[in-house]
A = this chain, B = another copy of it.
Amino acid sequence: MNKTERLPNWLKKRAKLSPNRPALEFEGKVLTFRELDSLAEEMAAKLASQNVKRGDSCALLIRNHKDSVVIIHALFYLGVKIVMLNTRLTAAELIWQLRDSEAKLLLSEQYFCEKLNDIQSFMQEISIIEKEDLASIRGIEDVAILEEFDLHETATIMYTSGTTGNPKGVIQTFGNHWWSAIGSVLNLGLTEQDSWYCAVPIFHISGLSIFMRNVIYGMKVVLVDKFNETEANQMIIENGVTIISVVTTMLNRMLINLGSEKYPNSFRCMLLGGGPAPRYMLLECKEKGIPVYQTYGMTETSSQIVTLAPEDSLQKIGSAGKALFPSQLRIEKDGLEAEPNQPGEIVVKGPNVTQGYLNRKEATDEAIKNGWLYTGDIGYVDEEGYLFVMDRRSDLIISGGENVYPAEIEAVVSSHPDVFEAGVTGVSDEVWGQIAVAFVVRKPGSELTEKQIIEYCLTCLASYKVPKRVIFCEELPRNASNKLLRRELRKRLED
């Protein structure tokens, strides 16, 4: 018998252990764990009355809101797998993920009614529920709540793309989330005063993982709908926030807004993920005594897998740290472990790493070998074992914390009738970290303009993915086997 497979239902257990602790602050109101559990139980009963049941897959299209947290726990209570949808996607992109995930139900909110109408018109087979519709529904009285979570069962599915263009559903089990939370607490520690500020999207692993820690640690989370640097700084300075998850653009804006003010000593962790951070910014933080913990992780690792340690946060500027306690890291070059300081592919392992992609055996086998996940990212480890990430997934563009996959954009641009071929790459940007730039070879005689291409993209791509610049050229750089060399595109830009 495998004793480590099952744990008590997390929020239920937390509500028993520390019912009166603050669990969630949203729009100035604080819920305790007991209250959060009551709401989740009530929501579970309502969903059960709508025939949502154990083993189903339910997609969520929801904004950062108290109700979203309640819904997530309610679905866990019912044993329903959750497909987390990026709210910035177009209806077409959402339909693709809904079909791929075979979700029976889409749970959303009136705010997205236009997208929902579009989806419904293309997908008669899916039930769509807006959370507002649930208000008047009476729940089933004796709804069966999962008493235990099986760590090997799927909790959530999140889509990521990659070099192939088509998004793949990353399977995140309860165990993946659990071990991620444990790896983090063994690095960052935990105090009774802790309060984690969540201004990153709940539908991303960066946001969702905060709510796993929330119940596992019994730690307060302050949730906001949308990031605002003035408010974030105020919450740290005046409202006892001790930890915040940020990406480069957020930190940049917070620093400008902070000016010469200082954070209190109670503020103990600026957890900086989502791609490379400019050195000048890290140095400015060091000067101001702001404890920046650079971290490296992805959907496939259920959040952080490599993070700086407390004693290094002001020392090892530019490094993402070392693999968290339950995890392992190595750099591979030509199939062998690279020497210190020698760049290669970042390869990781640990109980927080996904078992694979939904219904994608081939992609899974390609990414995960012998328990090791081949991230496609490039980096090196120094003599002391600290990871320096050089390049995310060679081609990946990270714009405002969102992953943008060149192949996906290229497919869209190339589908324009006047485009012969297209290549996309990222370029540094002061505001967004990186932005996408498209290189386009027009068909002979075409007079297609940059504006026309951008408008075309906006009809089928989430706006954050749309190239901000289009450069017309005669041909694209390709290697002998005709593979597009996106690095060469970047070089052209740099020149």
Contacts and interface: CB of A to CB of B under 8 A. Distances in A.
Interface of A: 1-5, 7-8, 13-14, 16-18, 20-21, 151-152, 175-176, 179, 182, 185-186, 189-192, 216-218, 309-311, 322, 325-328, 350-351, 353, 355, 371, 385
Contacts of A13: 325
B16 A152 contact: no
Contact of A217 (B186, B191, B350): B186
A186 B216 contact: yes
Given A175-B4, A325-B13, A185 B192 contact: no
Given A185-B185, A192-B189, A217-B186, A309 B17 contact: yes
Contacts of A5: 4
A311 B182 contact: no
A8 B175 contact: no
B16 A311 contact: no
Contacts of A353: 3
A352 to B, nearest CB: 9
Given A4-B151, A189-B192, A192-B189, A322 B17 contact: yes
Contacts of A371: 1, 3
Contacts of A191: 189, 191
Contacts of A176: 3
A309 to B, nearest CB: 6
A327 B2 CA distance: 15
Given A3-B353, A4-B152, A7-B326, 9 more contacts: A4-B5, A4-B175, A7-B351, A8-B327, A17-B322, A185-B186, A186-B217, A189-B189, A192-B311
28 contacts: A1-B355, A1-B371, A2-B2, A2-B152, A3-B351, A3-B355, A3-B371, A4-B151, A4-B152, A4-B175, A4-B179, A7-B326, A7-B351, A8-B325, A8-B326, A8-B327, A16-B322, A17-B309, A20-B311, A182-B182, A186-B216, A186-B218, A189-B189, A189-B190, A191-B191, A192-B310, A192-B311, A216-B325
Given A186-B185, A190-B189, A192-B189, A175 B3 contact: yes
Contacts of A355: 1, 3
Question: What's the number of copies of this chain in the assembled complex?
Answer: 2
A149 to B, nearest CB: 11
Contacts of A8: 325-328
A17 B190 contact: no
Nearest to A21: B311
Contacts of A175: 3-4
Nearest to A16: B385
Nearest to A17: B322
Nearest to A310: B192
A369 to B, nearest CB: 12
Nearest to A182: B182
Contacts of A218: 186
A21 B190 CA distance: 18
Contacts of A3: 175-176, 350-351, 353, 355, 371
Contacts of A385: 16
B179 A190 contact: no
Contacts of A326: 7-8
A186 B10 CA distance: 12
A127 to B, nearest CB: 33
A14 B7 CA distance: 26
Contact of A185 (B7, B190, B310): B190
A94 to B, nearest CB: 30
Nearest to A178: B4
Contacts of A192: 189, 310-311
